[in-house]
Amino acid sequence: MNYKPIIIVPGQVNSIFFEIFFKSFKTNTYSSPIILICSIDIYKKNAKINKFNQEFRIINSEIDKIKLNNKIINIINVNLKKTKNCKNQLKINNEYLHRCFIEAFKILNKKLTHKFVNGPVNKKNFLNKKYLGITEFIASKFNSDITGMLIYNKKLSVCPLTTHLPIKLISKKISKKLIQDKLKLIHKFYLENFRFKPKIAVTGLNPHCETILKFNEDEKIIAPAIKLSKLKKIKVFGPFPADTIFLKQNRNKFDVILGMYHDQVLAPLKTLFEYDAINITMGLPFLRVSPDHGPNEKMINKNLSNPISLINALKFLDKS
C-alpha cells in the first residue's frame, strides 16, 4: 500500500508540540511518511532537549519527486530570524508561522496528500482578530464555505455550531440554515470516513430549553431545523437541555452532540476524556486534524505533557 505523507506544521514557536511529537514517536510507529514544515534550528534545539535521536533529512516542497518512507523524518526548512526586541520577535514569529502554513497549503493544493496536522497556535497573536480561529483561517485559504469543528472520540464526539464567538453574539448567529448545514456536514463526514450514519443529539440554547423572553430560540429555530433535517434521512434528535445530555444514560445513545456554542460541548467532553480526543475540521478538501490542547507555554521543557491527543491524530490520518 502506498501511504500518502502526513504534513505537519508544528505551530507556535514556543509550545509543547515538539515534546509530544517526540513522545509519540518513541511509543508508536506510523506507516505514513512524516513531513515537518518548520525551522530546522528549532527542530534540532527541541530534539536535543528531549533526547530524540531519530534520523531526519531536509527536503524541498516538491515531494512528488522525492522517495519518501516512514523511517526518516522529513523536514521542509522555513528559516526563523532572531532579534533581541521582544515585540519585533513576536511579529517575526507570526510571519514565520504564516510561511509554514503557506508551504503546507502549496502541497495540499497540489493534492500530493490529503493529510494535514497543525500544532497549537496562539490565536490572539497569530490571527490578530481577522479570523475566529485556525479553522476559519484555513477554510478561507481553500474557499470552504461550510466547515465544522468535530472534537472526535470514538465513544462520543461533539461539534459546536458556533466556535469562538463572544457569548453575547451567539444567539444572533444561530439560524435554521446553519444548524441544517452543520447536521448535513456531520452526517456526510461520518458516512465518508467511518461508513455509518451517526446518531446526532442537538442541545438547546437556553437553560432547560426554556426562556423568560418572548422569543424562544429552541422552539422557533432549533426544533424546526431538526425536523427539516430528519426529512433528509439524518438521524438527529432534540433539542435537549445541555445540562443533562451528557449524563451517561443520555450520551450513550448518540455518536455526536451538536451544541450551540464552543464551551457548551467542549467543556463536558474534555471533562469526560481529557486529552483523549482530536480536533477534526470537516468540510475541507483534505483531512485537517489538530491535537486537542493549546501551546501550554508553562509546561515547556518539563517533560510532563500528555501526547495521547497527537498520537490519536497521527493514527487517524495514518489509516486514512
Specify the CATH number for the domain of residue 183.
3.40.718.10
Q: What is the pLDDT of residue 93?
A: 85
Do 190 and 82 lie in one domain? The reply is: no
Is the pLDDT at 127 greater than 80? The verdict is: no
Do 137 and 157 lie in one domain? The reply is: no
Count how many domains the chain has: 2
Q: What is the pLDDT of residue 157?
A: 98
**Assigned C-alpha cell, 225:** 431545523
Do 99 and 116 lie in one domain? The reply is: yes
Residue 214 pLDDT grade (very low, low, confident, very high; cuts 50, 70, 90): confident
Do 168 and 69 lie in one domain? The reply is: no
Q: Distance between CA 108 and CA 116 in Å, rounded?
A: 8
Do 3 and 117 lie in one domain? The reply is: yes
Q: What is the pLDDT of residue 294?
A: 63
pLDDT digits (tens, 9 = 90+) for 250-295: 999 999 999 999 999 999 999 999 888 999 999 999 999 988 666 5
Do 159 and 218 lie in one domain? The reply is: yes
What is the average per-residue pLDDT within 194-198? Answer: 96
Question: Does an H or E element contain 266, and which?
Answer: helix 262-273
Strand partners, 280: 150, 289
Q: What is the pLDDT of residue 293?
A: 64
Cα 204 to the chain's mean position, in Å?
24
Strand partners, 311: none
Instruction: Calculate what percentage of the chain has a pLDDT beyond 70.
Output: 95
Structural domain harbouring 259:
149-281
Do 227 and 137 lie in one domain? The reply is: no
Q: What is the pLDDT of residue 89?
A: 79
Do 182 and 301 lie in one domain? The reply is: no
Do 260 and 166 lie in one domain? The reply is: yes
